[in-house]
Amino acid sequence: MVNVEDLLFLIGYTLLIIIPLLLAVAYLTYVERKVIAAMQRRVGPNVVGWFGLLQPFADGLKLLHKETIIPTQANPFLFIVAPLLTFGLSLSAWAVIPFGPGMVISNINVGILYLFAISSLGVYGIIMAGWASNSKYSFLGALRSAAQMVSYEVSIGLVIVTILLSAGSLNLSEIVEAQQNIWFIIPHLPMAVIFSISALAETNRAPFDLPEAEAELVSGYNVEYSSMTFALFFLGEYANMILMSAIGSILFLGGWLPPLQIPPFTWVPGIVWFSLKMSFLLFVFLWVRATFPRYRYDQLMRLGWKVFLPFSLLWVILTAGVIVIL
Amino acid sequence: MGGAYLPDLTLVLPEGILVVTAFLILMTGVFRKSTNPQVQQRFGHVALSGLIVALGALIFYHHPAERWISFEGQLLQDDFVYLGKILILSGSAAVVGISLASMLKEHLLSFEYCALILLATVGMLLMVGANDFLSLFMGLEIQSLSLYVLVALKRDQTIASEAALKYFVLGALATCFYLYGASLMYGFSGSTNFEAIATIIRMESAGNFPLSLFMSLIFIMASFSFKISAVPFHMWTPDVYQGSPTPITAFIAATPKIAAMLVFLRLMLEPFMTLYDEWQSLVAFLSLFSMVLGAFAALRQTDLKRLLAYSAIGQMGYMLLGVVAGTDEGIQAVLIYLTLYLVMIIGTFACLLCLRGKGSYGVQNIEDLAGISTLHPKVSFALAIFMFSLAGIPPLGGFFAKLYIFKAALSAGFFGLAIAGALASVVAAYYYLKIVKVMYFDDAPKVPSASYGQIVVLPLKMALILNACALVTLLFFVFPNPILEIVQRAAFTFSG
Amino acid sequence: MTTTTLIFYILSGVLLSSAVMVVTTKNTVYGVLFLILAFFNAAGLFILAHAEFLAMILIVVYVGAVAVLFLFVVMMVNMETKKSQRMDRRYLLMGIFVGGVLVLELVVVFMSWNTSPEAFELIFAPQDGLSNTHALGALLYTHYALIFQAAGLILLIAMIGAIILTLRQRENVLKQKIGDQLARQAKDSVQMVDISPTSSFRNLESLDDSATPRGRTSRVS
């Protein structure tokens, strides 16, 4: 039987991750607006609280007290389930992320596959929302998004294959430990580039935000959503961004490891390094959004299938060959 | 990491050559993006040379009178498999040779066709070389998937799509049967290897076999009866023969049947030999009904390809008669029949493929052949030879094939079946001879239809193959020894 | 009853009932969603048997890719449920008959089945320190190398088939040729011309046409 004490600890750990995560999501929206504003020489939110620091809570409160509208022609069950699914999935992936040596809820053997599996499920929330809304814009957005996510999952999968070939393990902590000597970004720089671009596509972020293109699809799959159901999609998307940054720093930037294994760096705890790396990657997400215009759909598909897929396949073969020779 | 694992790769050298050629064709085809017929024809030539090189590799590396096993017992090659692979490779090469011109005329020749033919051949080679239910399954799937696609190649035509769909759905069902049977067999024996299974069945006390073993036997037999289109699993054959483009019908009629029959023979004689008393009545049933239905159902057909489909069902029935006998003589008879059947069927299709109507059609109905003996005496003569041979008129090859089969059946004591077979072949002779009669004694139509065989397109390759087939059929009774020798050696693998 | 047994029965219960729902439900979209639920529970069963690699692959491949495409098709096709209902009745008897025969056979086979004593030990992965990912890999790339390759060949054929049967080369489609765009040089499309203030603007038209832009979106014939 499961020990009651263990269960309580488990719940405690989970809360310890979820609450900071939700706070991080809230402030990511704030940072996004600030960063983009700075890049566009605006001020950004500055009214609610000091420097607008309370803005995310104001937004949340506003969404919370609005009415949840379910369109009459919609499929109410799936309509409600879809945002829950998106949000739930974006949280459940965190169970296997190691924040430091041994700082992980569940240190499973196939951690990286678990992450890959969870991220491949993300498409269901979107496609269910699009279909259940019974609206053409939603459905179009959902179709675009599903095709996009399925396509880019392939190249993410191949990136993961190269990493696990180099690390010799599917366990995330062991992948991090394998980067003691050298971060994987250095030998696998092209794969790191492919991963970061695919991560943008996988999270439906600019410049690959076609599923919610405001101009054509009036925000795509979530056009019929309001209030908390919309908020859940919103939270899910940002939580996914943070998750992708976490995966990126584990796979390529050595997770909790300091840049050099010498005293001034090793004094800093691993979780700080991990957060710093994640923050940098998150900044890149925002930076890209402020810089690049949106891709056209055929260009997006071309990039995924005709550029990334063959190249990453080639790289997998190359990596395997080098490992066999060494 | 453990030591390097390297199986004996020369065993799969022919398969390897074919796969590499197919990849070559695919890559060049995709990047050339040419619709130029000459380029497409060049792909056909590459495929043809791939098949011939593979045949050369097979013959060069063969170890005679030896059981050559590789891939941890999953593949083997002995004289029986060797004969099978020779038949398959040369059959596929011949089909590619006779089909190129016709495919070109029907605007179907593409690099995908060449690649798929090669891949299907790889599947068949794996099938006959399999010594394990898993590798057999893989070969079976590679072969059937390629064939489904080939049948659907003319996708704009309803009849072709219908044929492809029927073939696919029923073929998938047959695969399910196979998997069901093989998994039961695994449950019974704990192994998928043929030899291991044979040993385990032998250890069971006779007359006390568990039910799961019978179930497995029946399911596996059903799936292969489907592949060789034995009655009652023959329904798909006429529709698929009729629906697919004629060059592809030629392919389906020739090599996959050979491969499936050889696998059937191997399964019955190796893992299931101990169960002979159990399966012989079932195979006898399949054989009898195939012979009878093949003879009677073909009588009313007007479409040439449907007629050939029923003819194939009947021919398979005769071959099964040799399997029923189960003796060394029976196996030899089946192998001789298979060899001659391949020659005759390729010859027949070569004749049909070279006759074309005024439009872009090939001949379709029996009337399309009316009176062509005056127009094209040579082709008509060749077709007549094949028809006489298929009907079993002495002294042509087909007669001897039937003779051996009936002799084997009689000496094994299956008098009733042999008599039924002889009667069925008398009935079947009617429709084979009807084609000859239409060609030689009917008048050509005043206004020829679009598919009336007015024009002969006979490039050199096709003419060579056609002549070779005709010569083998004609002269088998003079020089039977080359075929008999190799067949004897092949059959010896089971008795020896 | 241990927790594992309880979880096993919950998972298999949900698995079986969702599998029944896949076949019986009228709404095809729900059918696919139940199929996904069934996959999930099957993955759960794999995890119970310590086959975590298989569980994850099941989710990644079947739920993450195959079922998404199913869902795509089902959502796009928008099945008319009423018409198929009438058809169902006609085939119901036949279906029940065939299914019944198969079930009966299975029952009869398993009644006479003796499980060998070692079989129970084989249900769970051996705990010899080798993770089951390693164990699977070691088998797949040695003992089953041939079969693994052949399976790859099957997938290739399926891909060729899908492409042949669906790809239609349409004419007059605008296609972007990125290679041409990138290869375009300034000197191909821009021409420096000395125009003296006195010469008329008309003279420019007589310039050669070699400067037609190459990299522009071009018609594919």
pLDDT confidence of residue B496: 56
In a shared domain, residues B432 and B336: yes
Mean pLDDT value across residues A138-161:
86
Whether residue B214 is contained in a domain is answered as: no
**C147 in B contact zone (CB under 8 Å):** yes
**Nearest-Cα residue of chain A relative to residue C178:** A299
What domain count does chain B have? 2
Give the pLDDT confidence of C185-198 residue by residue, as tens digits.
888 788 777 777 77
Q: What percent of chain C has pLDDT over 90?
A: 19
Q: How far is CA A108 from CA A187, A246, C8, C47, in A?
A: 26, 17, 20, 11
Domain containing A221: what range?
66-325
State the average pLDDT for chain B. Answer: 89
Distance from CA of C146 to the nearest CA of B (A): 7
Distance from CA of C163 to the nearest CA of B (A): 10
pLDDT confidence of residue A133: 85
- Could you tell me if A83 and A233 are in contact, meaning their C-beta atoms sit under 8 angstroms apart? yes
- Token pair 């509208």 in the structure block, residue: A69
Residue C154 to residue B149, Cβ atoms within 8 A = no
Q: Which residues of chain B have pLDDT under 70?
A: 1-5, 205-207, 359-360, 496
The interface predicted TM-score of the complex, written ipTM, equals: 0.90
In a shared domain, residues A133 and A271: yes
Whether residue B388 is contained in a domain is answered as: yes
In a shared domain, residues B257 and B352: no
Whether residue B188 is contained in a domain is answered as: no
Whether residue B226 is contained in a domain is answered as: no
Contacts of B74 in chain C (CB under 8 A): 146-147
In a shared domain, residues B362 and B296: yes
Whether residue B190 is contained in a domain is answered as: no
The DSSP annotation for B166-181 comes to HHHHHHHHHHHHHHHH
User: C219 forms bridges with which residues in the sheet?
Assistant: C174
In a shared domain, residues A271 and A173: yes
- Who among A109, A117, A302 is closest to C60 (CB)? A117
Collapsing DSSP to helix, strand or coil, C173 comes out as strand
Residue B134 to residue C147, Cβ atoms within 8 A = yes
Contacts of B5 in chain C (CB under 8 A): 141-142, 145
**CA–CA distance, A86 with B309 (Å, rounded to integer):** 56
Q: What percent of chain A has pLDDT over 90?
A: 21
Q: How far is CA C143 from CA B122, B412, C139, C147, C184, in A?
A: 20, 41, 5, 9, 52
User: B193 forms bridges with which residues in the sheet?
Assistant: B132
In a shared domain, residues A248 and A162: yes
**Nearest-Cα residue of chain A relative to residue C64:** A120
Look at residues A18, A38, A65 and tell me which one is the last residue of a structural domain: A65
Mean pLDDT value across residues C131-150:
85
**CA–CA distance, B376 with B225 (Å, rounded to integer):** 38
Q: Report whether pLDDT(A7) > 50.
A: yes
pLDDT confidence of residue B364: 86
Contacts of C105 in chain B (CB under 8 A): 215
Give the pLDDT confidence of B6-46 residue by residue, as tens digits.
778 888 999 999 999 999 999 998 888 777 888 888 899 99
**C99 in B contact zone (CB under 8 Å):** no
- Who among A109, A116, A150 is closest to C52 (CB)? A109
Contacts of C146 in chain B (CB under 8 A): 7, 12, 71, 74-75, 135, 138
In a shared domain, residues A163 and A246: yes
pLDDT confidence of residue C119: 67
**Nearest-Cα residue of chain A relative to residue C75:** A131
Whether residue B361 is contained in a domain is answered as: yes
Whether residue B223 is contained in a domain is answered as: no
Whether residue B231 is contained in a domain is answered as: no
In a shared domain, residues B460 and B349: yes
Contacts of C116 in chain B (CB under 8 A): 190
* Residue C188: both structure tokens together: 């191909």
Contacts of C176 in chain A (CB under 8 A): 298-299
What domain count does chain A have? 2
pLDDT confidence of residue A110: 85
In a shared domain, residues B291 and B344: yes
- Who among C138, C151, C157 is closest to B146 (CB)? C157
In a shared domain, residues A295 and A226: yes
The amino acid present at A155, given as its one-letter code, is: S
Chains touching chain B at 3 or more Cβ pairs under 8 angstroms?
C
Give the pLDDT confidence of C172-221 residue by residue, as tens digits.
777 777 788 888 888 878 877 777 777 665 555 555 554 444 444 444 44
In a shared domain, residues A148 and A271: yes
State the average pLDDT for chain C. Answer: 79
Look at residues A30, A65, A100 and tell me which one is the last residue of a structural domain: A65
Q: State the best of C105, C154, C155, C165 to mutate against chain B, taking most chain B CBs within 10 Å.
A: C154
In a shared domain, residues A21 and A163: no
pLDDT confidence of residue A56: 87
Q: Report whether pLDDT(A313) > 90.
A: yes
Contacts of C56 in chain A (CB under 8 A): 110, 113-114, 116-117
Q: What percent of chain C has pLDDT over 70?
A: 75
pLDDT confidence of residue C202: 58
- Who among A108, A121, A128 is closest to C63 (CB)? A121
* Residue B117 or residue A71, greater confidence: B117
In a shared domain, residues B338 and B256: no
- Could you tell me if B21 and B47 are in contact, meaning their C-beta atoms sit under 8 angstroms apart? yes
Domain containing B83: what range?
10-163+236-266
Give the pLDDT confidence of C72-90 residue by residue, as tens digits.
888 887 655 555 555 566 7
Distance from CA of C210 to the nearest CA of B (A): 27
pLDDT confidence of residue C124: 61
Look at residues A44, A65, A86 and tell me which one is the last residue of a structural domain: A65
In a shared domain, residues A13 and A37: yes
In a shared domain, residues A97 and A162: yes
pLDDT confidence of residue C219: 45
In a shared domain, residues A152 and A201: yes
**CA–CA distance, C103 with A199 (Å, rounded to integer):** 48
* Residue C102 or residue A281, greater confidence: A281
Give the pLDDT confidence of B55-108 residue by residue, as tens digits.
999 999 888 878 888 888 889 888 899 999 999 999 999 999 999 888 888 888
In a shared domain, residues A109 and A151: yes
**Nearest-Cα residue of chain C relative to residue B133:** C147
